[in-house]
A and B are shown apart, each in its own frame.
Chain A
C-alpha cells in the first residue's frame, strides 16, 4: 500500500500529512513534487493544505490547472482514493472533482482554531471507522473555506449522502454559532458521486495524536487504509 502527498509551491502541510501516514499509521507515503507527476501507481493521493500559488486568483484555482491534476483526475476515475485537505479541498473543488466551491469566509478573516464536526455518513472510504452522528474535534485554518453550491447541487448532495462533515456544537447540533465560516448548510466535507474523493477544510493530520489535544482525525486516514486493505483482499 502506498500513499502519495503532492506538494505544490506553497504547500505547507505536506510533511504533516506524510508524518501521520508513515509514522502514526505505518504506511508507505511518498512526497511528490507536482512537476514530477505520479511516476508509479498509488492507492491514495493526498492534496495537502497550504497556499499553492499564493492563493492567487482564487485559492486552489491555479494548482487545479497543473498537469499533475490530470493524473490525479485519471487516478480518481479508476477508483483511486483522493483526499484534499484545506488548500487541497479548494484544489479539488476548482478542478471539478467535487461539486461546489470553497470561497472567502463570511467574516473575511483567517480562522485557525479547533472546531467540532458531525460525521454525516460513515459510508465512504474516508469515514467508515466513524459512526453516523459522531462529534469529532479537528482544527480548521483558512480564510477561504465557506462552502457554496447551487441549490440543486445541495439537494443532490443531501440525497446521495455526499456530505461527509458538517460544523456543529459540542452536542452535535448544527447551529449558526457553530458555523465558523458561513458555509452553506454547515458543509465542510464533500464527497464526489463515486465516494472515492473527499474534499475537507478541517485538518485531520493536525488531530491525529493525543499530544495534539485530539486524535479524532486519525480515523480519516485509518478508514482509507482499511478500505485499501479490503480492496486488496488483505484480511485483519
Chain B
C-alpha cells in the first residue's frame, strides 16, 4: 500500500484571486505579508507493486483529473 501526497498549485504567473482575498483578510487582522499562494493537497492511498508504479499512477490521476494542465502544475511524493 502506498500513500501519494499530491500537491496541485497554479503555474507561475497565474492569477490567484483567492490568495489575494485571503492575503487582504490577513492584512485586516494586522498581518503584513509579502506573498501568499494557495495549493491543494490530496492524500491518496492505493495499491502499487513498487514506488515507481505508485508514482506513475499518481501522475495519471493528476493528468486525467486532479490538475488542469492549462493552469496547474503538480508535485507528487509517494510513501509506503
Q: Which residues of A contact B (CB under 8 A)?
A: 57-58, 61-62, 65, 94, 100-101, 103-108, 146, 148-150, 182
Contacts of A57 in B (CB 8 A): 65-66
Taking a contact as CB atoms under 8 Å apart, the answer to whether B14 and A65 are in contact is no
Taking a contact as CB atoms under 8 Å apart, the answer to whether B70 and A150 are in contact is yes
* Chain B interface size range: 10 to 19
Taking a contact as CB atoms under 8 Å apart, the answer to whether B68 and A105 are in contact is no
How far, in Å, is B80 (CB) from chain A's closest CB? Answer: 27
Taking a contact as CB atoms under 8 Å apart, the answer to whether B71 and A101 are in contact is yes
Q: What is the CA–CA distance of A146 and B10 in the complex, to the nearest angstrom?
A: 15
Taking a contact as CB atoms under 8 Å apart, the answer to whether A104 and B18 are in contact is yes
Q: Does B21 contact A (CB under 8 A)?
A: yes
Q: Is the interface of A mostly helix, strand, loop or mixed?
A: loop
Q: Does B17 contact A (CB under 8 A)?
A: yes
Taking a contact as CB atoms under 8 Å apart, the answer to whether A148 and B65 are in contact is no
How far, in Å, is B7 (CB) from chain A's closest CB? Answer: 14
Contacts of A103 in B (CB 8 A): 68, 71
Q: List 6 A-B contacts (CB under 8 A).
A: A58-B68, A100-B70, A101-B71, A104-B18, A108-B20, A108-B21
Q: What is the CA–CA distance of A212 and B43 in the complex, to the nearest angstrom?
A: 47
The B28-80 residues at the A interface (CB cut-off 8 A) are: 64-66, 68, 70-71
Q: What is the CA–CA distance of A58 and B68 in the complex, to the nearest angstrom?
A: 9
Q: What is the CA–CA distance of A150 and B13 in the complex, to the nearest angstrom?
A: 12
Q: Does B15 contact A (CB under 8 A)?
A: yes
Point out which of B14, B17, B64, B71 has the most chain A C-beta atoms below 10 A from its C-beta.
Answer: B17
Q: What is the CA–CA distance of A175 and B64 in the complex, to the nearest angstrom?
A: 36
Contacts of B14 in A (CB 8 A): 148
Taking a contact as CB atoms under 8 Å apart, the answer to whether B68 and A108 are in contact is no
Q: What is the CA–CA distance of A150 and B71 in the complex, to the nearest angstrom?
A: 9
Point out which of A103, A146, A148, A182 has the most chain B C-beta atoms below 10 A from its C-beta.
Answer: A103
Taking a contact as CB atoms under 8 Å apart, the answer to whether B18 and A101 are in contact is no
Taking a contact as CB atoms under 8 Å apart, the answer to whether B21 and A101 are in contact is no
Q: What is the CA–CA distance of A106 and B21 in the complex, to the nearest angstrom?
A: 10
Q: What is the CA–CA distance of A148 and B71 in the complex, to the nearest angstrom?
A: 8
Taking a contact as CB atoms under 8 Å apart, the answer to whether B68 and A101 are in contact is yes
Q: What is the CA–CA distance of A58 and B67 in the complex, to the nearest angstrom?
A: 9
Taking a contact as CB atoms under 8 Å apart, the answer to whether B68 and A94 are in contact is yes
Mask of B1-27 contacts with A, CB within 8 angstroms, 1/0: 000000000000011011011000000
